[in-house]
Structure 1
Amino acid sequence: MGHGASDRGDRDLVDATRLEAHRAELTGYCYRMLGSGFEAEDAVQETFVRAWRTYDPGRGPLRPWLFHLATNVCLDMLRGPQRRARAMDLGPAAVPGADLGPPLPPERWIHPIPDARIVPEDAAVARETVRLAFVAALHHLPPRQRAVLILRDVLAWSAAETATLLSTTVTSVNSMLQRARAKLPAAGAADAEVDEALLSRYVAAFESHDVTGLVSLLHEDATMSMPPFTWWLRGREHIRAVLLASDAPCTGARLLPTRANGSPAFGQYVEGRAFGLLVLDVADGRVAGTTTFLDPGLFPFFDLPMSLGHALRTRR
């Protein structure tokens, strides 16, 4: 027993290591397909389970087989009729004073994902193709077109490789890619590198509820949204009006930095407790959009504490 079990354990250890080597890129792929970091991780785990059961070196290299399995898992998970979206995709901008309206269920929203879970070989490419706006744009496409566009244009798979993965023809892949490119909405540009001084000024203004200072850092047509509510704003002056009329409900808030979707992000704490995850879109040296996910359940996913210690709550 001892020798045979040892051999089997060594083989399993090698196989597990080989699978783990692909976790980050598979998570990034599944996230683009599904629009939820939690669902992407579930999809990768299911992919690994299926790989344990089905992979045979005679099929060819492990990586294409993993992507084949991951695509099937994602397509199975995307059989529902509704797509995930951002507030800006669901209706027109609100006017200051408008009611937030009822919240929508979690499955209707594009959710954020920590950069640390999708670290790719080419970080610059990954940042552009996991931004919230780009992922939301992908979700305008039918699932198979979405898969083709991600594989061809994001991950640089050839038409032949993509056809094999999807069990179809090169002609079909090229046709789906052409249709997907035509349908894909523009996602807007973002700064490749964000000025840390800009972020410092943003945090200082936010934490002191300095509306004038905060608004001065925004683009004139900046957006602000707060999932799970469909309410959202466009325009610096509308944002200013709402912030001034809000009677500083988040006075004393603190921001703890993190990274989400290739963008700067912050855990927002109110009275020392987890409140929401704030993701910034930065373009041309200014804040082009803010999305605050009002879900403290995201904090452990981003390795953020659920509450702040006394020293941090009282820092100057």
Structure 2
Amino acid sequence: MHSKPIRSHYKAHPWVEDREIIRRWQRGQTGFPMVDAGMRELWKTGWIQQSVRMIVASFLVEYLGVNWIEGHKWFHDTLVDQDTAINAMMWQNAGRCGIDQWNFVLDATSGFQDPTGSYVRRWCPELKHLPNKYLHKPWEANEATLRKAGVQLGSTYPTRILTDLKKARLRTKENALAMLRTPESVKMTDPNGYDLITIPGKGISRVFTRREFRNRKPDDPKNYESKDQKRITSFFQKDIARNKSHSKGKRKDRSRQSKEVEKDNNARRQEKKKARMLKKKFKEKTRGRMNGGKRALTRADFED
């Protein structure tokens, strides 16, 4: 699990293998303050808060395009609370090949996790005099602001490892989609684009797949349809039909139950109405006997 993806077809995913990029991420020298702060804290203390772990993991996989295995190995070596099973599971999910792939991509420049800037200032002290406005994006500050804060990009603090996050993210997405369109991957995908995994002793199971990775071109499945794919398609079509039939039966049962409930409600309403009428007659006839009548009231006085 620490190196073999649970979604087996993801082993063909193309990744960036530049060791310099990986090392800059490991040492907190990416030029993105939130990422650098998290990685420096990890190196210094052996621990980082869960949401920061997600930020640095998302940055490594989604923007740098580096294999999740590199992140798993680094966390395995540096975290004091390292648990092999949990570490591998979370990194597989971050790398989109686990049972529950992450349904989000975190932006390392938004500052949502460090709105006051105290975290970045603690672990990236070379940026501590920058205004909050530029603390998570120092490259947006003009020369005068940088000079006043004592920051020189490329010298006192590293330049950005990426200059276009949107382009980097798109590149990673296209690499993933290219992998998902291969014959091997299509065989492990259901008709709706969800990934399939094989569970020993249980057969095939569908797992959550992000919408952006379910939207393949309409002709892709046809181009690569195999006997296995036809078998899987047939299985899910039968399953869908079975579910529809089951739902239809449930609707009929609910309709029948509703009619029975309505019938009971009507009967209760009639009983209450009759009780009100009897009570009204009782009051009227009792009032009459109290006005001078001598005969004792009987049940017959209240019956129609």
TM-score (norm 1): 0.23
User: Which one has the largest radius of gyration?
Assistant: 2
With the length of structure 2 as denominator, give the TM-score of the two structures. Answer: 0.24
